[in-house]
Chains A and B, each alone.
Chain A
Amino acid sequence: DIQMTQSPPALSASVGDRVSITCQASEDVQNYLNWYHQRPGKAPKLLIYDASNLEKGVPSRFSGSGSGTDFTFTITSLQPEDLGTFYCQQYSGLPLTFGQGTTLDLK
């Protein structure tokens, strides 16, 4: 199985801050990498697909980059509604696997 490791596991930031999360795959997944946001008690929502493509309707303050084994997810100006947990997910091989999540809260 392909293991996905996110860093950091948790972080606190202020409104307007730039925030970055990294995701490392245990083997090359090319650009077969997606990012999701889950607010507490809600279903996850797709934000970024194929490592760097912004899903339709998702604010442009979200972005993704990387390929191979190392990926980065960035929020350029944190908003209050961004609190929750962010997950990366690979689809290079089965089983489909997620990172363990990065929980973001507001200072």
Chain B
Amino acid sequence: EMQLLESGGGLVQPGGSLRLSCAASGFTFNTFAMSWVRQAPGKGLEWVSAVSGRGDTTYYVDSVRGRFTISRDNSKNTLYLQMTSLRAEDTAVYFCAKFRGYSLKDFHFWGQGTRVTVSS
């Protein structure tokens, strides 16, 4: 059974940093592109970042490029999102999501999310 379990969320001050993790199981992790999608309180879904199966290609929405870094450790079946220079508008539930294959198409399976709150 596929599972994605996010962790690392919490309360952080503006300008601070946080690293999210997503532990994957139940599928061959290194053959699938992975992504982070966020949802601000009461708002819709926003794609944040994605990474290829081998981890050598990364993609970002403009609002986080240069502040967030996506990475993966295929030996540990884990996806990461390093977030720096955090802003109030980064407050959201962050979902880890698996693509159907190596391409960035449909978010085939989702974790339950981890909440990030940026506030002083």
Contact = CB atoms under 8 A, between A and B. Distances in A.
A91 B104 contact: yes
A45 interface: yes
Nearest to B50: A96
B95 A96 contact: no
A89 B107 contact: yes
B107 A44 contact: yes
Contacts of A46: 106-109
B11 interface: no
Interface of B: 35, 37, 44-47, 50, 59, 61-62, 95, 100, 104-113
Contacts of B109: 46
A96 B105 CA distance: 9
Contacts of B100: 49
A97 interface: yes
Contacts of A89: 45, 106-107
The residue among B37, B45, B113 with the most chain A CB atoms within 10 A of its own CB is B45
The 5 closest A-B pairs by CB, nearest first: A43-B110, A96-B47, A49-B106, A34-B106, A98-B45
A95 B65 CA distance: 12
